[in-house]
C-alpha cells in the first residue's frame, strides 16, 4: 500500500515531463525571431486605415503567406496540443511576460486616436455584428472610455526610437496594432495588426509581440473601468488572411466555413482509445492566428489565473477586396474558461 502514492507521484511526474517535451518541440523558437512574432501574434486586415499625423494608408494583400513551409493539419494539431498543455500547466516564471505596465509600453509605442466617434461602430463590426450580437457582446464605441461596457478602440503604433544596453540607436519600425476591446465584456477584437518585424523587414523593438501590446493596453483599460482582467472571455480574430490558418480552417470545416453561426469546435485534450477526439479545435489553436490567443493566456497567467481556450467558432462573411470586388472573409472567435 505504501508504494502506491510513490508510483502515482512518479506517473504524474512522467506526464509533466512529456507535456514539457511536447511544448518544447512544437514551440521552441527564440523570442527575438521575426517568424515567432508572426506565428504567435500576427493577424492582418485588408481594410485600409489612414494613420493620423502620417500620410500613410495600410492594406495587406489577402494572398500573402507568412510561413516558408505550409502548415499541415497534423502539425497544427500537435502545436495546438502543446499550447493547450502549456495553458493548463502551473504558473512558471519563465513563461511570464517581462512587461507589466502601460508606462513600459509607452516607452516604445505611441497611442493614436481610433478615429471613430462614440456610439458608432468600429470598422470590424460591419462584418462581425451578427456574431457579436448573438453572444451579447458590445458593438459600438464607448462614450466614457469603456465604463459603460462598450468598446474602446486601442490603436498603438511603434514610432518611437529607443535605446537599450545593447542597442544605442533603435529606429522606429512603424508596426501597428489596432484592437477594439471591452474589459467589462471580456472582449478583444484583433482588427488590424502588423508586427514591427513585418513592417520593417525583420527589425523588432523590446516590446514587439501582439500579445504583450494587447495585454498591457487591456490591463490598463480594465483598471480604469474598475473591472477584473481575469474577466477576459473572448478573442475575435477577424478577416484572417494567413495562408496556413486559412488552409486549416478549410480542412476542419470540410471546405469554406459556413456563414454565422459557423462551426463550433471544442478545445480540450479528451481522448478515446488513446486518440484526441477534438483535433479540429486543437488544430485551429495551433494555427498562426490561434497561437496568439494561447500566448495571451500563457504569458500573463499570474494576472489571469489558469485560463484555457474552451472552444473556437469559425465562420465566413462577405467582404470586398482591394478593388472593391466581392470576396469571402474568414473569422474565428476563441472563448476562454472563466
How far is the C-alpha of 103 from the C-alpha of 18, rounded, in Å? 39
> According to the model, what pLDDT value does residue 286 have?
98
Contact predicate 180/152, CB 8 Å: yes
DSSP assignment string, 125-187: HHHHHHHHHHTT---SB-SSTTTTS-BEEEEEE----B--SS-S-BPP---EEEEEEETTTTE
Sign of the four-CA dihedral 228, 114, 203, 104: negative
Contact predicate 97/142, CB 8 Å: no
Q: What is the DSSP letter of 91?
A: P
> According to the model, what pLDDT value does residue 55 have?
24
How many CB atoms neighbour CB 316 within 10 A? Answer: 18
Q: Tell which phi-psi region holds residue 197, choosing left (phi > 0), alpha (psi between -120 and 50) or beta.
A: alpha
> According to the model, what pLDDT value does residue 19 have?
53
Give, for 64, the enclosing helix (H) or strand (E): none
Parallel, antiparallel or unpaired: strands 187-190 and 234-237: parallel
> According to the model, what pLDDT value does residue 35 have?
27
Look up residue 147 and give its three cell numbers: 465604463
Contact predicate 215/296, CB 8 Å: yes
Contact predicate 334/87, CB 8 Å: no
> According to the model, what pLDDT value does residue 170 have?
82
> According to the model, what pLDDT value does residue 308 have?
97
φ, ψ of residue 163 to 5 degrees: the values are -130, 145
Contact predicate 314/246, CB 8 Å: no
> According to the model, what pLDDT value does residue 68 have?
62
Contact predicate 101/40, CB 8 Å: no
Contact predicate 151/181, CB 8 Å: yes
What are the tens digits of pLDDT across the range 196-247? 999 999 999 999 999 999 999 999 999 999 999 999 999 999 999 999 999 9
> According to the model, what pLDDT value does residue 168 have?
59
Please, how many CA atoms are within 13 Å of residue 64, restricted to the half-sphere of its CB? 16
- pTM for the predicted model, two decimal places: 0.81
Look up residue 159 and give its three cell numbers: 514610432
Contact predicate 267/285, CB 8 Å: yes
Three-state DSSP class for residue 315: strand
Q: Measured in Å, how far apart are the chain's first and last C-alpha atoms?
A: 38
What pLDDT tens digit does each residue of the chain (338 aa) get? Answer: 444 444 444 444 444 455 555 544 444 332 332 322 333 333 333 332 222 222 222 323 333 444 468 999 999 999 999 999 999 999 999 999 999 999 999 999 999 999 999 999 999 999 999 999 999 999 999 999 999 999 999 999 999 998 776 665 689 999 999 999 999 999 999 999 999 999 999 999 999 999 999 999 999 999 999 999 999 999 999 999 999 999 999 999 999 999 999 999 999 999 999 999 999 999 999 999 999 999 999 999 999 999 999 999 999 999 999 999 999 999 999 999 99
> According to the model, what pLDDT value does residue 27 have?
42
Three-state DSSP class for residue 252: helix
Look up residue 151 and give its three cell numbers: 468598446
Three-state DSSP class for residue 150: coil
Give, for 207, the enclosing helix (H) or strand (E): none
φ, ψ of residue 284 to 5 degrees: the values are -65, -35
> According to the model, what pLDDT value does residue 50 have?
27
Q: What is the DSSP letter of 51?
A: P
Amino acid at each position: 500500500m505504501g508504494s502506491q502514492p510513490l508510483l502515482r507521484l512518479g506517473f504524474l511526474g512522467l506526464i509533466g515531463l512529456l507535456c514539457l517535451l511536447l511544448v518544447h518541440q512544437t514551440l521552441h523558437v527564440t523570442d527575438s525571431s521575426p517568424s515567432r512574432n508572426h506565428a504567435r501574434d500576427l493577424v492582418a486586415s485588408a481594410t485600409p486605415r489612414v494613420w493620423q499625423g502620417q500620410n500613410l494608408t495600410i492594406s495587406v494583400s489577402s494572398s500573402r503567406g507568412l510561413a516558408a513551409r505550409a502548415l499541415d493539419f497534423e502539425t497544427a494539431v500537435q502545436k495546438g496540443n502543446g499550447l493547450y498543455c502549456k495553458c493548463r500547466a502551473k504558473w512558471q516564471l519563465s513563461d511570464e511576460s517581462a512587461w507589466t505596465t502601460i508606462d513600459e509600453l509607452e516607452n516604445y509605442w505611441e497611442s493614436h486616436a481610433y478615429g471613430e466617434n462614440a456610439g458608432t461602430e468600429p470598422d470590424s463590426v460591419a462584418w462581425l455584428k451578427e456574431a457579436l450580437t448573438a453572444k451579447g457582446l458590445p458593438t459600438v464605441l464607448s462614450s466614457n472610455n469603456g465604463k459603460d461596457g462598450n468598446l474602446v478602440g486601442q490603436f498603438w503604433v511603434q514610432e518611437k526610437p529607443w535605446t537599450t544596453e545593447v542597442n544605442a540607436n533603435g529606429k522606429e519600425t512603424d508596426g501597428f496594432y489596432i484592437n477594439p476591446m471591452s474589459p467589462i465584456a471580456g472582449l478583444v477584437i484583433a482588427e488590424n495588426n502588423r508586427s514591427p518585424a513585418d513592417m520593417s523587414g525583420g527589425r523588432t523593438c523590446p516590446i514587439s509581440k501582439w500579445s504583450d501590446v494587447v495585454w498591457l493596453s487591456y490591463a490598463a483599460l480594465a483598471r480604469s473601468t474598475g473591472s477584473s482582467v481575469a474577466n477576459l472571455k473572448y478573442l475575435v480574430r477577424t478577416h484572417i488572411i494567413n495562408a496556413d490558418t486559412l488552409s486549416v480552417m478549410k480542412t476542419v470545416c470540410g471546405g469554406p466555413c459556413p456563414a454565422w453561426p459557423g462551426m463550433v469546435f471544442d478545445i480540450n485534450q479528451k481522448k478515446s482509445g488513446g486518440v484526441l477526439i477534438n483535433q479540429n479545435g486543437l488544430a485551429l489553436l495551433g494555427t498562426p492566428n490561434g497561437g496568439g490567443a494561447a500566448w495571451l493566456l500563457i504569458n500573463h497567467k499570474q494576472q489571469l489565473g489558469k485560463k484555457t481556450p474552451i472552444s473556437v467558432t469559425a465562420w465566413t462573411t462577405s467582404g470586398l477586396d482591394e478593388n472593391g470586388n466581392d470576396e469571402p472573409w474568414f473569422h474565428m472567435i476563441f472563448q476562454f474558461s472563466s
